[in-house]
Structure formats: structure tokens, C-alpha cells
């Protein structure tokens, strides 16, 4: 029996994956649960196992190509008469190309004339037969953008169109428009910068840096960014952590850092400012019940990833520190899974550990805000007491909040920073 392998959906927000490496080639036998391909989704690489024993007959997509999930990427022959347990479930969503029962509609339709004109003039350069089938089945220009043509120079064939027609509701509901037409940059990939001299070196983005670049550009286009700042006296937290870090290590087997305390304070402050713990969408925003706290993590190769601490509001300081350390270690070992970096509702970026005084971070979409923590430095400060003002050496840090100005106004952002400042400056550890 012939069938097709595809990249399964690997998370709520994952709609596509980039092929990193084919682990099998045409003609190879793949055992059930044996990985046959390595893919990348949102900076995380995963091996995909075969759902049944099969022989690879053909491969439709190659290394570095980006493919929507659930789209056939290889034609296979199921071996030993084995019928996968989920085959019928799969068929409910995607129909195999072996089914040739679909024929062009012969009934007269009320297809919009403007849409017909769009199809006739489409850049896909449809053949007369394919164009006729598209018009008779009310296929729009937007629909054609879902189809990755298998013909010469990527032309859409009759079989490509039949397959889409049978599965168009699945495509339309699961995949964003023009997903196959997205690029990391608007600059053509083969373009060469001007003014290159003989000793210059051109560095092309690697896969992860390309994803980061695209994500940042999309965020700046999507959201009007504003940033508010606050200087916070962190002396109490620094003193407590430095005095108790050995006790935490002995009693709980965790290395406690300043960042763990700040994360705990941020989660507490968000409780009073729910609009910051939200996701935006075209007509407004969604207030998220749980705080899924993202924290920017530098990787050994110099790239950046943002793993997510889920339901952070339910964790005490010790539990929070343990989970953050475990996730950060997985990131450094490149062992994160797609679900480890999805669904964040608010993000913290601690650039201070690299010596940065302050920052203006870019919002991690679809979130509406991100907090940057600067370097902790000693400063002479005016301290108010009942006996009058005096100068003391204090440990201080800048916190900067970048936010989506469509949703968050300056007063709301400033109030959040004031709340966070009060929590940190009046810190008292409670088990």
C-alpha cells in the first residue's frame, strides 16, 4: 500500500518546519518508530519517527526547505501488510494521492468574476487545464499560495490541484496565508552587498540567526514599540542571596541567582497588571490566565533562544529556581523540544549578566511586553531616614519595559515598573 509521510504537528503554534537533514534516502527501509528526518521548528531541532514500517519511494522536499506540517514530504510503501493504528484518523484530515476519484466540477457555479480574473492572471502560470479546474472549483489566488507545485519550475499540476481541492478546508484552517511564500528577509538571497573589497568577508545568516532576524522584523512591523525605564535598588536581594546561596545549594541542591528572585517578583507584579500577561491579535488582545514566563537564554554558539517556564504563578522560589535551571541546562545542551519554547505570555531578558547597563528589547510576538534587566552596579545614593537624608553605597539596577503601545499606555507600564520596584526594594523572603 502506498502512502505519504509528513511532518506531524508538534505544538499548538507550530505550523511549519524546516528540513535540516534526511536520515533516510530513496530506497531505504524505515522501521516503525525509527527517525527518518530531522527538522527545525522555532529554533528547536527534532527527529521525526516513522509511524509504520515502510520503504521510501520518493522525496518531495529537500534540505533547508520549509514545509507546513501534515503536508506529504515523501511517498512510501507500507511493508508487511501493516496498517498503522492511526491511519483512519489521519485520513480524516488528509486524503492520500492514491485516491483519484476527484474530478473537476461540471456544475455551473456563481464564482466571483474578480476572483476568476485573479486566477487567470496568477503568477503561478497555470496551464489551460489546471486553470479551468481551478475556476470551476472556485479556487482563489490565496488558495494557490497554499500549493507547492510539483511540476517543472514549481508549476502547479493537475494532481497538485486535485489534492488541494480534496483537503482545502484542512489547509485553510491550519496554515496561515502565503505560508509557502514567506522569506527570512525581503532582500533576495543571492544579492551581494555593494562596496565589497578583496579582504571583506560576507557572512550569510545560519538557519537559527535567520529565524531570529525574521521574528524580530515581524515584531517591529506588527507592534508599535515603546520603552519605559525604572532604576531599582536591589541591595536587599543581593545581600540575602549572597548570604544564603550556600544554604540553598545544601538544602535544595540548587544554585540560586539574582535572576530567580527577580523572576519571582515579576510574576507577583503581573498579578496586578493582567494586560501585560497577554497575547495580541488583529482586533485586540487575549488576557492569559496563567503566567508562562519566557526567559532569554544565550546558547554556546552565540545564538539566542527563549524557553518558557509554565504556570510560573504556582511556583515558590525554590521550585521556580529548580525548573529554570533545568530548562536552561536543556537549552545549553541543545535538548529543548518545540513545546519548551512555545506559549510564553511574558518575557524577561537579563542583559545585565553581560555587562549591559540597560536595554530596549524587542517584544516576543504575540506577547505584548518584554522586560530587560540591566547590570547590578554599586552607586552612591541618597537614602531617606527618620534622622534625615544620608549618602550610602547601594546596589542598583535599571529595568526597562518594552510594550505594544496599541494595548499598553505609558501610565500602565510605569505603574507596573513602580510595583516591581516596590516588591524588590522591600523584599522579604517567605518560604
The grid coordinates listed for 429 are: 523572603
260 tagged catalytic: no
Cα separation values, 63 from 20, 21, 60, Å: 6, 6, 11
The C-alpha atoms of residue 411 and residue 123 are separated, in whole angstroms, by 49
Three state DSSP letters for the chain: CEEEEECCCCCCCCCEEEEEEECCCCCCEECCCCEEEEEEECCEEEEEECCCCEEEEEECCCCCCEEECCCEEEEEEECCCCCCCCHHHHHHHCCCCCCCCCCCCCCCCCCCHHHHHHHHCCCCCCCHHHHHHHHHCCCCHHHHCCCCCCCHHHCCCHHHHHHHHHHHHHHHHHCCCCHHHCCCCCCCCCCCCCCCCCCCCCCCCCHHHHHHHHHHHHHHHHCCEEEEEEEEECHHHHHHHHHHHHHHHHHHCCCCCHHHHHHHHHHHHHCCCHHHCEEEECCEEEECCCCCEEECEECCCCCEECCEECCHHHCCHHHHHHHHHHHHHHHHCCCCCHHHHCCCCEEEECHHHHCCCCCCCCCCCCECEEEEECCCEEEEEEEEECCEEEEEEEEEEEEEEEEECCCCCHHHHHHHHHHHHHHHHCCCCCC
Active-site residue flag, 183: no
Instruction: Report the b/e string of 334-363 with b at 16+ CB within 10 A.
Output: eebebebbbbbbbbbbbbbeeeeebbebbb
- Choosing from 98, 272, 316, 409, which is the catalytic residue? 409
Distance separating alpha carbons of residues 174 and 14, to the nearest angstrom: 10
Q: What residues are labeled active site? A: 405, 409
Amino acid at each position: 500500500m502506498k502512502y505519504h509521510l509528513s511532518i506531524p504537528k508538534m505544538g499548538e503554534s507550530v505550523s511549519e518546519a524546516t528540513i535540516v537533514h534526511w536520515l533516510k534516502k530513496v530506497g531505504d527501509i524505515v522501521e516503525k518508530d525509527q527517525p527518518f528526518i530531522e527538522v527545525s521548528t522555532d529554533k528547536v531541532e527534532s527527529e521525526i519517527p516513522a509511524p509504520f514500517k515502510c520503504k521510501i519511494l520518493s522525496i518531495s522536499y529537500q534540505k533547508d526547505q520549509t514545509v507546513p506540517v501534515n503536508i506529504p514530504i515523501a511517498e512510501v510503501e507500507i511493508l508487511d501488510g501493516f496498517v498503522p493504528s492511526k491511519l483512519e484518523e489521519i485520513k480524516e484530515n488528509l486524503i492520500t494521492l492514491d485516491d483519484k476519484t476527484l474530478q473537476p466540477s461540471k456544475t455551473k457555479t456563481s464564482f466571483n468574476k474578480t476572483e476568476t480574473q485573479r486566477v487567470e492572471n496568477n503568477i503561478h502560470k497555470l496551464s489551460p487545464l489546471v486553470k479551468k479546474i481551478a475556476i470551476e472549483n472556485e479556487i482563489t489566488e490565496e488558495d494557490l499560495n497554499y500549493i507547492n507545485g510539483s511540476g517543472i519550475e514549481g508549476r502547479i499540476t493537475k494532481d497538485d490541484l486535485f489534492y488541494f481541492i480534496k483537503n482545502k478546508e484542512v489547509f485553510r484552517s491550519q496554515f496561515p496565508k502565503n505560508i509557502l511564500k514567506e522569506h527570512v528577509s525581503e532582500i533576495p538571497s543571492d544579492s551581494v552587498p555593494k562596496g565589497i573589497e578583496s579582504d571583506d568577508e560576507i557572512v550569510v545568516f545560519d538557519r537559527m540567526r535567520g529565524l531570529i532576524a525574521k521574528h524580530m522584523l515581524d515584531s517591529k512591523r506588527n507592534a508599535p514599540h515603546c520603552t519605559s525605564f525604572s532604576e531599582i535598588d536591589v541591595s536587599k536581594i543581593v545581600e540575602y542571596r549572597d548570604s544564603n546561596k550556600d544554604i540553598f545549594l545544601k538544602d535544595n541542591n540548587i544554585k540560586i541567582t539574582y535572576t530567580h528572585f527577580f523572576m519571582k517578583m515579576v510574576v507577583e507584579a503581573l498579578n496586578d497588571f493582567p494586560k501585560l500577561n497577554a497575547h495580541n491579535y488583529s482586533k485586540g488582545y487575549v488576557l492569559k490566565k496563567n503566567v508562562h514566563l519566557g526567559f532569554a537564554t544565550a546558547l554556546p554558539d552565540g545564538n539566542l533562544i527563549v524557553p518558557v517556564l509554565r504556570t510560573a504563578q504556582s511556583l515558590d522560589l525554590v521550585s521556580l529556581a529548580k525548573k529554570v535551571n533545568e530548562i536552561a541546562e536543556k537549552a545549553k545542551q541543545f535538548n529543548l523540544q518545540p513545546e519548551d519554547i512555545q506559549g510564553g505570555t511574558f518575557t524577561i531578558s537579563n542583559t545585565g549578566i553581560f555587562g549591559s547597563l540597560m536595554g530596549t528589547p524587542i517584544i516576543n510576538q504575540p506577547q505584548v511586553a518584554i522586560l530587560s534587566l540591566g547590570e547590578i552596579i554599586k552607586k552612591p545614593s541618597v537614602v531617606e531616614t527618620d534622622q534625615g537624608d544620608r549618602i550610602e553605597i547601594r546596589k542598583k539596577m535599571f529595568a526597562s519595559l518594552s510594550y505594544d503601545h496599541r494595548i499598553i499606555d505609558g501610565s500602565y507600564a510605569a505603574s507596573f515598573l513602580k510595583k516591581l520596584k516596590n516588591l524588590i526594594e522591600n523584599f522579604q523572603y517567605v518560604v
